[in-house]
């Protein structure tokens, strides 16, 4: 505490829960009970007129305050706000997440019927089984191609050695005998490859038959699912497409954000009905629609991480 007083020239501002990683007791301004919001027109600086603004330089609260109510922050005197990575795109991410939430909610509503859910599950299982069969078929096709190449190579090698055996180019009896052994060995290897090739081709025929049956079953299940869906079928298909697009858009956005900021945002979304960030318009938080005090707005201008004093949502000036 004395170290911070030496840096700032006064006692730490209220509301901070730790200094340099060491938790300190919460301090509540006069007239404000624990857990209550400041009254309109008041702010921490109103109760501590000698306090100079402090700003958060880093934050780590992957699950919000700890069990003892401690929120870990590191502070230093304000020297001009340095934006946290991704703050300028926070509202864009929030809009994408809200769109995903709405799509999933509508999808759940359309598929609330038990029969539809069961039919869809059967169709998904059939689609997965078909995919596995197709992977097996692709593997056998590769084996067949490899064995065919091996058989062709061995056949050409045996033919070439046989021509040397009978074209008179070799007169040495020992060399002729060696060629005969080589031809016999190559022919024997060719027969073994041919046997393997035949086995794999039989397996391929069996798999092709099973794939055809699985495709027919999947088509039947999808038709049954469409009948159950009725008029909602087309809308569900559109929702599925939109969900894939929005989720891809979200994945593309994520690298632009600081990891700590993302964790805080996700925690807030879980506790704030899906809205973890809100615009600050004319001093009004668009998440809780409360107007911030003039002193609080002035303080936020030097804060790296801006949060509403009433609802704690991340604020992005509009």
C-alpha–C-alpha distance, residues 185 and 72, integer Å = 77
pLDDT at 202: 92
Q: Last residue of a domain, which of 221, 237, 253? A: 253
Q: Contacts from 63-71 at CB under 8 Å and sequence distance 24+?
A: 63/267, 64/267, 64/271, 65/17, 68/23, 69/17, 69/26, 70/17, 70/18, 70/23, 71/17, 71/18
315: left (phi over 0), alpha (psi -120 to 50) or beta: beta
Q: Is 173 found in the same domain as 55?
A: no
Any idea what the CATH number is for the domain that residue 229 is in? 1.10.287.1700
Q: Is 53 found in the same domain as 127?
A: no
pLDDT at 36: 41
C-alpha–C-alpha distance, residues 316 and 280, integer Å = 6
Q: Is 82 found in the same domain as 25?
A: yes
Phi, psi torsion values for 177, nearest 5 degrees: -65, -40
pLDDT at 170: 72
Q: Is 243 found in the same domain as 269?
A: no
Separation of first and last alpha carbons in the chain: 37
Q: Judge whether 291 lies within some domain.
A: yes
C-alpha–C-alpha distance, residues 88 and 261, integer Å = 12
Q: Last residue of a domain, which of 202, 227, 253? A: 253
C-alpha–C-alpha distance, residues 38 and 14, integer Å = 12
Low pLDDT (below 50) residues in the chain? 1-79
Tokens of 87: 């703050």
Tokens of 303: 């804060």
- Give the total number of structural domains in the chain: 2
Q: Last residue of a domain, which of 228, 253, 278? A: 253
Q: Judge whether 135 lies within some domain.
A: yes
pLDDT at 7: 38
pLDDT at 277: 96
| Count of other CB atoms within 10 angstroms of residue 103 | 19
Q: Is 311 found in the same domain as 239?
A: no
Q: Is 111 found in the same domain as 238?
A: yes
Q: Judge whether 111 lies within some domain.
A: yes
Q: Is 285 exposed, middle or buried (0-12, 13-18, 19+ CB in 10 A)?
A: buried
162-193 pLDDT tens trace: 888 777 777 778 888 888 888 888 889 889 98
C-alpha–C-alpha distance, residues 55 and 73, integer Å = 10
pLDDT at 11: 45
Q: Is 118 found in the same domain as 19?
A: no
Q: Which domain, by its residues, includes 79?
A: 2-86+257-317
C-alpha–C-alpha distance, residues 26 and 14, integer Å = 7
Q: Is 264 found in the same domain as 246?
A: no
Give CA separation, 189 vs 153, 199, 275, in Å: 11, 16, 69
């Amino acid at each position: 505490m004395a170290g911070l007083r030496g840096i700032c020239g006064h006692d730490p501002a209220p509301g901070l829960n730790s200094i340099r990683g060491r938790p300190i007791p919460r301090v509540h301004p006069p007239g404000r009970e624990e857990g209550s919001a400041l009254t309109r027109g008041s702010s921490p600086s109103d109760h501590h007129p000698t306090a100079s603004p402090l700003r958060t330089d880093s934050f780590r609260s992957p699950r919000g305050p700890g069990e003892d109510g401690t929120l870990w922050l590191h502070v230093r005197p304000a020297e001009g706000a340095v934006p946290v990575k991704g703050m300028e795109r926070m509202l864009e991410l929030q809009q994408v997440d809200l769109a995903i939430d709405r799509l999933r909610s509508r999808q759940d509503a359309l598929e609330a019927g038990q029969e539809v859910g069961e039919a869809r599950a059967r169709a998904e299982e059939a689609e997965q089984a078909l995919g596995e069969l197709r992977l097996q078929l692709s593997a056998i096709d590769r084996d067949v191609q490899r064995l065919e190449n091996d058989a062709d190579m061995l056949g050409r090698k045996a033919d070439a050695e046989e021509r040397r055996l009978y074209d008179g180019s070799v007169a040495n009896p020992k060399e002729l005998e060696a060629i005969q052994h080589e031809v016999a060995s190559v022919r024997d290897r060719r027969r073994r490859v041919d046997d393997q090739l035949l086995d794999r081709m039989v397996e391929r025929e069996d798999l092709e038959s099973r794939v055809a049956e699985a495709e027919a079953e999947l088509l039947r299940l999808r038709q049954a699912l469409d009948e159950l869906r009725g008029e909602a079928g087309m809308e569900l298909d559109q929702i599925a497409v939109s969900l894939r697009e929005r989720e891809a858009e979200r994945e593309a956005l994520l690298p632009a954000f600081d990891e700590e900021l993302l964790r805080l945002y996700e925690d807030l979304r879980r506790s704030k009905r899906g809205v973890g960030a809100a615009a600050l318009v004319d001093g009004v938080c668009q998440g809780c629609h409360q107007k911030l005090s003039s002193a609080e707005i002035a303080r936020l201008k030097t804060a790296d991480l801006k949060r509403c004093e009433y609802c704690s949502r991340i604020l992005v000036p509009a």
